[in-house]
């Protein structure tokens, strides 16, 4: 059964990075009907990777201007369960499972709001989606 249409959107780190570098998604997102929400996990990834003062300022401004969603204790616990399933069913080594931790948290946080997760990272999120249902859209 398909999931109902959503009105909120959570952008993954990959979308912010691609848009910051190229501006490719700016018009697309501005023309959308989604109400944007930010993931604290995405903000963490963006600030951790920011190399210039302009990039740092962008993340801090985003943090101030956007409603931020943070994974709950229950979502952290559920993420561990999902990651254990992925490890077992996909035969992933511990290193690959660790790479997926933050993506699973982003997906579960978006899901808790009923939001659509927008990402450029199709391969990892397709794997995650095999183990937990959430709205997703892949931007190229």
The residue extents of the domains of the chain are 8-138
Which residues, including other chains, have CB under 8 Å from residue 53's CB and lie 6 or more apart?
none
Q: What is the mean pLDDT of residues 112-133?
A: 97
Confidence of residue 29 (pLDDT cuts 50, 70, 90): confident
Residue pair 117/107 in contact (Cβ under 8 Å)? The answer is yes
Fold for 8-138, please state it: Rossmann fold (3.40.50)
Distance CA 138, CA 117 (A): 8
pLDDT in tens, 36-85: 999 999 999 999 999 999 999 999 999 999 999 999 999 999 999 999 99
């Amino acid at each position: 059964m398909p999931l109902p249409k959503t009105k909120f959107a959570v952008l993954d780190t990959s979308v912010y990075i691609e848009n910051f570098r190229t501006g490719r998604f700016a018009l697309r997102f501005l023309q959308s009907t989604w109400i944007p929400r930010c993931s604290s996990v995405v903000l963490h990834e963006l600030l951790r990777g920011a190399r210039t003062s302009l990039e740092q300022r962008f993340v801090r401004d985003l943090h101030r201007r956007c409603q931020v969603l943070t994974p709950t204790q229950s979502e952290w616990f559920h993420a561990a369960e999902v990651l254990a399933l992925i490890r077992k069913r996909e035969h992933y080594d511990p290193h690959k499972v660790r790479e997926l931790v933050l993506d699973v948290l982003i997906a579960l946080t978006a899901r808790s709001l009923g939001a659509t997760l927008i990402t450029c990272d199709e391969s990892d999120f397709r794997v995650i989606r095999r183990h937990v249902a959430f709205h997703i859209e892949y931007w190229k």
